[in-house]
């Protein structure tokens, strides 16, 4: 059994399929070395802090649908707690570099409320509020700057027959500048007479464009005749994708 927390804070119990929970645990074990962690052992973490983390640190990645807290026994009597994000199929959501969104902690104990929430089980699902309005406002903010900045972004002369999701995401890994202010990427699309104009830029922690030393934005713009199905699904009817 897993415990679901609804947005209003009231608990609701449900019985997931055993193979589903086993799959999450199995994926977690494989990804454990790649999950960001705090090295020192923490005395305790409380219920409110745990839930607040999912509200404050929720990625803007549209695949994220819910949170999950996993607990395991750790060496020397301590506990390992992981806070991760799941997609609609309860798969752990990864960044473009293959690392999971979330964190892991080593604790001496859980506070009474959090310990009671786990009961005898090792997973807790945390339902998340929608962030659609935040994404829309971010999109409008970025686009408002593009009328002035578009000519400064490097243009790729070749026209692509198809822009794939994989190649769009890979760009942020292989072409990421060595600029410490960069926190995320953004993919924007605009209609073009030859198809779609795809603009890929890098953003700082305040969702502002990051600039090179010559005051031109990092990134590129490229025309593609079509987008593949996976990339279209990622846009989900909007004109922006945030890549953490």
Q: What is the pLDDT of residue 114?
A: 84
What is the tally of helices (H) and strands (E) in the chain?
6, 12
The percent of residues above 90 in pLDDT, for the chain, comes to: 25
Q: 139 pLDDT band (50/70/90 cuts)?
A: low
62-105: per-residue pLDDT in tens? 788 889 999 888 876 788 999 999 998 899 999 888 899 999 99
Q: What are 76-82's contacts with CB under 8 Å, separation 24+?
A: 78/41, 78/106, 78/107, 78/108, 79/106, 79/107, 79/108, 79/109, 79/110, 80/104, 80/105, 80/106, 80/107, 81/45, 81/105, 81/106, 81/107, 81/110, 82/28, 82/32, 82/35
H-run or E-run covering 134: helix 132-149
Pairing between strand 102-110 and 42-45?
Answer: parallel
Q: 145 pLDDT band (50/70/90 cuts)?
A: low
The predicted model gives 225-229 an average pLDDT of 92
The predicted model gives 106-117 an average pLDDT of 86
Three-point CA angle 93, 131, 61, nearest 5°? 25
162: pLDDT strictly greater than 90 = yes
User: How far is it, in rounded angstroms, from Cα 85 to Cα 73?
Assistant: 21
Of the listed ranges 116-125, 163-172, 176-185, 228-237, the least confidently predicted one is 116-125
Could you give the dihedral angle defined by the CA atoms of residues 11, 110, 57 and 166, in that order, rounded to the nearest 10 degrees? -90
225: pLDDT strictly greater than 90 = yes
Contact 64, 101 (CB under 8 A): yes
pTM surpassing 0.85? Answer: no
Pick from 172, 147, 195, 179: which is nearest to 242 by CA? 172
Could you give the dihedral angle defined by the CA atoms of residues 178, 183, 184 and 185, in that order, rounded to the nearest 10 degrees? -40
**Other Cβ atoms within 10 Å of 195 Cβ, number:** 18
Contact 204, 242 (CB under 8 A): no
């Amino acid at each position: 059994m897993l415990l679901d927390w609804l947005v209003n804070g009231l608990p609701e119990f449900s019985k997931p399929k055993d193979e589903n929970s086993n799959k999450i645990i199995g994926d977690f074990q494989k990804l454990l070395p790649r999950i960001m962690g705090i090295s020192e052992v923490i005395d305790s973490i409380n219920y409110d802090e745990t839930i607040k983390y999912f509200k404050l640190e929720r990625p803007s990645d549209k695949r994220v649908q819910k949170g999950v807290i996993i607990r395991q026994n750790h060496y020397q009597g301590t506990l390992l707690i992981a806070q991760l994000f799941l997609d609609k199929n309860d798969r752990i959501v990864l960044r473009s570099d293959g690392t999971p969104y979330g964190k892991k902690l080593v604790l001496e104990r859980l506070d009474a409320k959090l310990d009671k929430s786990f009961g005898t089980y090792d997973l807790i699902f945390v339902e998340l509020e929608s962030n659609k309005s935040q994404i829309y406002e971010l999109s409008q903010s970025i686009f408002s700057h593009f009328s002035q900045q578009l000519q400064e972004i490097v243009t790729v002369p070749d026209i692509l027959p198809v822009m794939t999701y994989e190649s769009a995401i890979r760009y942020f890994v292989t072409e990421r500048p060595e600029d410490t202010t960069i926190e995320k990427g953004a993919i924007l699309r605009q209609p073009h007479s030859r198809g779609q104009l795809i603009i890929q830029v890098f953003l700082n922690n305040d969702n502002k464009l990051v600039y090179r030393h010559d005051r031109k934005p990092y990134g590129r713009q490229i025309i593609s005749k079509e987008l593949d199905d996976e990339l279209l699904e990622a846009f989900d009817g909007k004109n922006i994708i945030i890549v953490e």
